[in-house]
Structure 1
Amino acid sequence: MDFSGIIGHKNIIKELINAIEEGRFAHAHILVGEDGIGKSLIARYIALKILGKNRDTQCVDIIEWKMAKNKRSLGVDDIRKLIEEINKKPYEGENKVIIVYEAHNMTVQAQNAFLKTIEEAPEGTYIILLCENLDKILDTIKSRCQIHKLRVLSDSEIMDFIDKKYTHLMDEEKKILIAFSNGVPGRIERFLKDDKFNEIRKETLQILANSSRINKGKMIKYEKFFIENREYWEEILNSMISYVRDLMIYKELGIEKFIINIDKTNEIKELSNMFSFNKLSKLVDIVDETRKRLDKNLNPSLVFDMMLLKIQEV
Structure 2
Amino acid sequence: MSFEAIIGHQMIIKQIQDSINSGRFSHAHLIVGEDGIGKSIIAKEIALKLLNKKENKNYVDIIEVRGARNKNSIGVDEIREIIKEANKKPYESDKKVIIIYEAHKMTTEAQNAFLKTIEEPPSGVNLILLCETIELILETIRSRCQTYKLNRLNSKEMKMYIEKKYLGLEEADIKQLIAFCEGIPGKCKSFIEDDNFKEIRNKTINILLEVCKKDRYIIKQYENFFSKYKDQWRDILSCFISYLRDIVVYKELGNKKIVINSDKLEEIKKLSNIYSFKELNEFMDIINKVRNNLERRINQELAFDIMLLNMQEV
TM-score, L = length of structure 2: 0.89
Q: CA deviation at 1:61?
A: 0.8
Residues 224-256 of structure 1: per-residue CA shift (max 9 Å, x gap):
212232233332233223333444555566666
Structure 2 residue matching 1:128: 3-state secondary structure: strand
In 2: Cα distance, 1:170 partner to 1:254 partner: 24
AA paired with 1:275?
Y
AA paired with 2:149?
K
* Aligned residue in 2 for 1:72: 72
In 1: Cα distance, 2:23 partner to 2:180 partner: 40
1:84 equivalent in alignment to 2:105: no
CA contact (8 A) 1:182 1:260 kept: no
CA contact (8 A) 2:283 2:311 kept: yes
* Aligned residue in 1 for 2:129: 129
Q: CA deviation at 1:257?
A: 6.4
* Aligned residue in 1 for 2:29: 29
The CA RMSD measured in Å over matched residues stands at: 2.5
**Counterparts of residues 188-203 of structure 1 (less than 5 Å):** 188-203=188-203
* Aligned residue in 1 for 2:303: 303
Q: CA deviation at 1:136?
A: 2.0
In 2: Cα distance, 1:262 partner to 1:30 partner: 38
CA contact (8 A) 1:104 1:131 kept: yes
In 1: Cα distance, 2:91 partner to 2:203 partner: 49
TM-score, L = length of structure 1: 0.89
Q: CA deviation at 1:214?
A: 4.4
AA paired with 1:207?
I
**Counterparts of residues 1-314 of structure 1 (less than 5 Å):** 2-248=2-248, 259-291=259-291, 293-295=293-295, 299-314=299-314
Q: CA deviation at 1:42?
A: 0.8
In 1: Cα distance, 2:182 partner to 2:111 partner: 31
Gap regions ≥5 residues in structure 1 = none
CA contact (8 A) 1:8 1:157 kept: yes
AA paired with 1:158?
M
CA contact (8 A) 2:211 2:218 kept: no
Q: CA deviation at 1:68?
A: 1.7
Q: CA deviation at 1:265?
A: 4.4
CA distance 1:21–1:297, change in 2 (3 Å):
closer
In 2: Cα distance, 1:294 partner to 1:175 partner: 30
In 2: Cα distance, 1:267 partner to 1:161 partner: 30
Gap regions ≥5 residues in structure 2 = none
AA paired with 1:290?
V
Structure 2 residue matching 1:30: 3-state secondary structure: strand
In 2: Cα distance, 1:113 partner to 1:163 partner: 44
% identical aligned pairs: 52
Structure 1 residue matching 2:128: 3-state secondary structure: strand
In 1: Cα distance, 2:174 partner to 2:32 partner: 27
Structure 1 residue matching 2:29: 3-state secondary structure: strand
In 1: Cα distance, 2:9 partner to 2:296 partner: 33
Q: Higher mean Cα deviation, 39-48 or 141-150?
A: 141-150
Structure 2 residue matching 1:63: 3-state secondary structure: strand
In 1: Cα distance, 2:253 partner to 2:75 partner: 46
